[in-house]
Structure 1
Amino acid sequence: MSEGAGDSVRVERTGAVATLILNEPKSMNAMSAGIKAGIETHLPGLLADSGVRAIILTGTGKAFCAGGDIRSMDDRATLSVKTRMTRTYRWLIPLLTADKPIIAAVNGAAAGAGLSLALTADLIVAARDARFKAGFPGIGAVADLGLAYTLPRAIGHQRASDILLTNREVGAEEAHAMGLVARLAEPEALMATAMELAQALAAGPTVSLALTKRLMRRAYELPLEGFLESEAMAQVVAFGSGDFDEGVAAFKAKRKPDFKGH
């Protein structure tokens, strides 16, 4: 099912998987005001909908997202820039802290803000002809949309510095080798590969997956003792879930579990 097919951002539903599609192919899905507004409009409902158990991010046409929309950068007044950034954080923070598994299906270029957007996902599936580039140094800007936060955590400080400071382009094969990309697919099989992964996650133990995501985020913030306390509390919650009951019952019966997501 498709919603808002003529908009800058479209949503398609396939069972428990929602696909959020950047839909301005003429501009290679550059992060325009329309695309930002579309994400801000659609994302809260998808995150709140218990029937959506995994989300795919992708773009139409020849690019995932080619970066920021240069047309929006003419107003460079301090207050204007700060206002634009703050509005973007309305959807960026929920995306980065979402409990639901999120997959980026990267077709073509993911540059600048497009690279940032890809790294909001838990897993990146890339077409073999995809390419990644920071973009920001090329115009004298600072990496934004959390990129200087997410990229070092994904691939380490040295590799992140190489990408963010030199502005070199990274192909899909290298991105996979360095751990930026989780899985590669032939271009024609990209969405099928991403959907297969998303459906597997959507059929998984929703409570457990959400708690695991939270723990991984906290791992960078807490000392060991604080992390282990959070881990223990997360396990208490997981053991009390219906998914855990089903998982144990299925293990004992030697059958595949049928997780309901609660």
Structure 2
Amino acid sequence: MTKDHETDAVIVEHHGDVALVRLNRPRTRNALDPDVKSGLETAIPVLMDDSAVRCLVITGTDDAFCAGGDLNNMNDRGAPSVRARMHRSYIWSQRILSGEKPVVAAVNGAAAGAGFSLALLCDIAVVADTAYFRAAFPGLGAVPDLGLALTLPRSIGSARAKDILLTNRRIDAAEAVSIGIAKRVVTAASLVEEAMKLAAELAAGPATSFGLTKMLLNNAYGSINDFFATEAMAQAVAFGSREFAEGVSAFHAKRKPDFKNNR
């Protein structure tokens, strides 16, 4: 095992031809703060371009996979700033989704908001029995980002995706497998080991075939670039709304948001 491309926020370990990428912000439940996003922006393209790496595994430190966006670093909600932040995140998120190498999500705990999105950017998800998914965006008056409105309906169908994205209900590990979000449930203690076993199997497979298969699947539903451009516009509008301001205020105050009177 070797380590490189490592920061304190994102740790990369090489296990033969499999790279294990670990989000390492346990105090914020591995939220996508600027350091985590910068670490992913650096690591993911390097790993995707490294011929010695044939498969990636993404997981979180401690008891959370990723709690989503870091609200403490979203003070500038003007449309240009929001779209700039979104486009920077697309540097690494689109490489996970569209890159030729298989990517396995080892979902070790909560995958909320953009954390849910991150799990679905990966090709296959293995989940711990303690893991769960939640959209989180409705509670803030935001819209799904990092491709979730694209990847979720592809995985489970439009009707189920609407249910999850509009009601903001919690999806436990067993349901995630039953509806197609994840491949299988394992114990929390064995999660990384099982995900690495799957990754090793994929790494031994036909890389050219896998890359072409991902390309065909990703282009079967229209342009990914067009989708992300529309998503960035939609999130910029949402972030500039009174509803989002109320959602953030309610989140920090730990109260239920009043969206009816803040539109």
After the TM superposition, which parts of structure 1 deviate over 6 Å for at least 4 consecutive aligned residues?
none
Q: Given that residues 7 and 39 in structure 2 are in contact (C-alpha distance below 8 angstroms), is that contact kept between their aligned partners in structure 1? A: no
* Structure 2 residue aligned with 1:131: 132
From the CA coordinates, give the structure whose radius of gyration is larger: 1
Normalised TM-score (structure 1):
0.82
Structure 1: runs of 5 or more not aligned: 223-262
* Structure 2 residue aligned with 1:47: 48
SS in structure 2 of the partner of residue 119 of structure 1:
helix
CA displacement at 1:5 relative to structure 2: 5.4
> For residues 79-98 of structure 1, what are the structure 2 equivalents within 5 Å?
79-98=80-99
Q: Given that residues 17 and 52 in structure 2 are in contact (C-alpha distance below 8 angstroms), is that contact kept between their aligned partners in structure 1? A: yes
Q: Distance in 1 between matches of 2:46 and 2:86?
A: 22
Q: Distance in 1 between matches of 2:105 and 2:147?
A: 16
* Structure 2 residue aligned with 1:106: 107
Letter matched to residue 102 of structure 1: V
CA displacement at 1:207 relative to structure 2: 0.9
> For residues 109-188 of structure 1, what are the structure 2 equivalents within 5 Å?
109-188=110-189
* Structure 1 residue aligned with 2:34: 33
Q: Distance in 1 between matches of 2:201 and 2:172?
A: 27
Q: Distance in 2 between matches of 1:208 and 1:41?
A: 26
Q: Distance in 2 between matches of 1:20 and 1:208?
A: 24
* Structure 2 residue aligned with 1:73: 74
More off after superposition, 210-219 vs 135-144: 210-219
Q: Distance in 2 between matches of 1:157 and 1:172?
A: 20
Q: Distance in 2 between matches of 1:105 and 1:115?
A: 12
More off after superposition, 205-214 vs 165-174: 205-214
CA displacement at 1:220 relative to structure 2: 2.2
Structure 2: runs of 5 or more not aligned: 224-263
* Structure 1 residue aligned with 2:229: none
Deviation string 1:22-57 (CA, Å, 9 cap, x unpaired) is 011110000100000000011111001111000001
**Greater RCO structure (CA 8 Å; 6+ sep):** 2
Q: Distance in 1 between matches of 2:138 and 2:160?
A: 16
Q: Count how many residue pairs are aligned between Structure 1 and Structure 2.
A: 222
Q: Distance in 2 between matches of 1:209 and 1:97?
A: 11
Q: Given that residues 5 and 42 in structure 2 are in contact (C-alpha distance below 8 angstroms), is that contact kept between their aligned partners in structure 1? A: no
* Structure 2 residue aligned with 1:196: 197
Q: Distance in 1 between matches of 2:92 and 2:141?
A: 25
SS in structure 2 of the partner of residue 36 of structure 1:
helix
Q: Distance in 1 between matches of 2:172 and 2:192?
A: 19
Deviation string 1:167-200 (CA, Å, 9 cap, x unpaired) is 0010000010000011211110000100000000
> For residues 2-21 of structure 1, what are the structure 2 equivalents within 5 Å?
2-3=3-4, 7-21=8-22
CA displacement at 1:72 relative to structure 2: 1.3
CA displacement at 1:219 relative to structure 2: 2.3
* Structure 2 residue aligned with 1:57: 58
